[in-house]
C-alpha cells in the first residue's frame, strides 16, 4: 500500500515538473496527490468518478419525434407546377397516401416544476418542414412536381418513469440548432433529476482536454469519452474525436477541472462530419412486403437515393456560452410557460 502511494506521488510530481513551463503566469500546487491549476484536465479522472457520472446520467432522456404527412404523387403528364398544389382539383390527380418521418435524440432535463418538465435538445430533431417538393426537372425541361408532401401533424415525446410525456416546443433557434421542449407528466417524476453540476466555460478549453459525452446513440443510454480539438474552431463551436451515431444529437459534453468530482458542462453535441453519396436502391414496398430472393436477378424499379456517410471521429459541439445566451434571451418566454430556470441562470437582475 505504501509502495503504491509512493508511485502515485512520483507520477504527480513528474507531471508537475513537466508542466512547469506550459505558459507564463500559470501556477500549480499539489493537493491530495493531484495537480491543482484551475484548468481543464487533459487526462481521465484519477478519483472515482462513477457516482458523479451516475447523477449526470439521471438528467438525460431520449426524445422521440414523428411527423405525419400526406403524400401526393403525380405523373409528368399531369404537368403539375408547385403553385398548382394548392388547388384541390389538382391534388385529386395524384395518388395519395399517408407516410411518417421519425427521429430520435438526446435531451437534458433542465427543470422539474411539479409534474412539468423542461428539456434542452437539438432543434433539427424536431424540425420537420410543413411542405416538401420533389421535381421531375432532372428528366424534363420543365419543373413538374413529382411528389408533394403536406404535413398533417407532428408529435414529440419523452418517457420518464414509464410515463409517456407529450412535449410542445417552447423555444427554438434553427441557426444555432437549439430547442427547448416542455410537457406535463401524468405521474410524479422520480428517477430523473435536474442538473447537479457546474456550468463551465468553453473559452477555457484547450486542444487535448479530456471530455465525457452523455447520450442515446442508437437508443442506448451511454457515456463515452474523448479529446477536444480547438484548432480552427469558432467561438460558438468546437470539435471532439468521439464517434457520433444516430441518437447522439443533443448529447451533453463535460470537461473536468482539477479531477473528479469537478464536472462542468461545456456544450451540446449537434452533428458529425459527413459526405454524401448516391446509391441505387430497390422499391421499398417490394423489399418490405414481398421480400427479395437474392439468388434471382432483381426485376423491380431502381431508384437513385442520396445517403450520408458519417465520418466518425469528427463531432461538432455547440459551446455552453451559446446555450446560456439562448436561455437568457428566452427566459421570459420560459417563465410564462410555467418553468423555472433560476437554478441555471441565477437570480434575475
Q: Tell me the pLDDT tens digit for each residue of 247-278.
A: 899 999 999 998 888 999 999 998 754 445 66
- 3-state DSSP helix/strand/coil % of the chain, to nearest 5: 20, 45, 35
- Output the pTM of the full model: 0.79
pLDDT at 9: 45
pLDDT at 62: 96
| Cell numbers standing for residue 136 | 421531375
pLDDT at 16: 42
Q: Give pLDDT tens digits for 276-296.
A: 566 777 765 555 555 666 677
pLDDT at 273: 47
| Cell numbers standing for residue 318 | 455547440
Identify the residue whose cell numbers are 397516401. 97
CATH of 2-58+196-271, one of 3.30.70, 2.40.10, 3.40.1720, 2.60.120: 2.40.10
Q: Give pLDDT tens digits for 106-119.
A: 999 998 877 889 99
Start-to-end CA span in the chain (Å): 53
Q: Count of alpha carbons within 13 Å of 271, Cβ hemisphere only?
A: 12
> Distance between CA 303 and CA 281 in Å, rounded?
5
pLDDT at 207: 92
On the question of a cis peptide bond just before residue 286, with omega within 30 degrees of 0, the verdict is no
Q: Which part of the chain is CATH 2.40.10?
A: 2-58+196-271
Q: How far is CA 114 from CA 184, 201, 240, in A?
A: 9, 30, 37
Low-confidence stretches of the chain (pLDDT beneath 50): 1-24, 273-275
Q: How far is CA 24 from CA 30, 221, 234, in A?
A: 19, 42, 25
Amino acid at each position: 500500500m505504501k509502495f503504491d502511494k509512493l508511485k502515485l506521488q512520483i507520477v504527480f510530481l513528474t507531471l508537475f515538473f513537466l508542466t512547469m513551463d506550459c505558459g507564463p503566469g500559470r501556477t500549480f500546487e499539489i493537493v491530495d496527490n493531484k495537480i491543482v491549476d484551475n484548468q481543464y484536465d487533459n487526462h481521465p479522472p484519477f478519483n472515482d468518478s462513477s457516482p458523479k457520472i451516475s447523477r449526470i446520467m439521471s438528467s438525460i432522456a431520449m426524445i422521440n419525434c414523428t411527423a405525419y404527412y400526406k403524400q401526393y404523387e403525380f405523373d409528368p403528364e399531369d404537368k403539375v407546377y408547385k403553385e398548382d398544389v394548392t388547388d384541390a382539383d389538382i391534388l385529386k390527380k395524384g395518388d395519395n397516401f399517408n407516410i411518417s418521418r421519425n427521429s430520435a435524440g438526446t435531451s437534458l432535463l433542465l427543470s422539474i416544476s411539479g409534474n412539468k418538465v423542461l428539456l434542452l435538445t437539438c432543434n433539427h430533431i424536431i424540425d420537420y418542414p410543413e411542405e416538401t417538393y420533389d421535381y421531375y426537372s432532372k428528366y424534363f425541361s420543365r419543373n413538374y412536381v413529382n411528389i408533394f408532401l403536406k404535413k398533417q401533424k407532428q408529435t414529440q415525446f419523452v418517457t420518464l418513469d414509464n410515463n409517456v410525456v407529450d412535449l410542445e416546443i417552447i423555444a427554438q433557434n434553427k441557426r444555432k440548432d437549439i430547442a427547448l421542449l416542455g410537457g406535463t407528466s401524468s405521474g410524479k417524476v422520480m428517477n430523473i433529476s435536474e442538473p447537479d453540476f457546474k456550468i463551465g466555460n468553453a473559452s477555457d478549453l484547450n486542444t487535448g482536454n479530456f471530455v465525457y459525452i452523455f447520450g442515446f446513440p442508437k437508443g442506448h443510454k451511454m457515456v463515452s469519452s474523448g479529446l477536444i480539438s480547438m484548432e480552427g474552431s469558432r467561438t460558438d463551436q468546437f470539435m471532439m474525436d468521439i464517434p457520433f451515431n444516430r441518437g447522439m444529437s443533443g448529447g451533453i459534453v463535460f470537461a473536468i477541472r482539477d479531477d473528479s468530482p469537478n464536472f462542468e458542462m461545456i456544450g451540446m453535441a449537434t452533428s458529425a462530419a459527413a459526405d454524401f453519396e448516391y446509391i441505387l436502391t430497390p422499391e421499398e414496398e417490394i423489399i418490405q412486403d414481398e421480400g427479395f430472393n437474392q439468388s434471382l436477378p432483381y426485376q423491380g424499379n431502381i431508384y437513385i437515393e442520396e445517403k450520408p456517410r458519417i465520418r466518425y471521429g469528427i463531432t461538432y459541439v455547440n459551446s455552453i456560452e451559446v446555450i446560456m445566451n439562448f436561455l437568457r434571451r428566452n427566459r421570459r418566454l420560459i417563465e410564462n410557460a410555467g418553468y423555472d430556470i433560476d437554478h441555471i441562470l441565477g437570480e434575475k437582475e
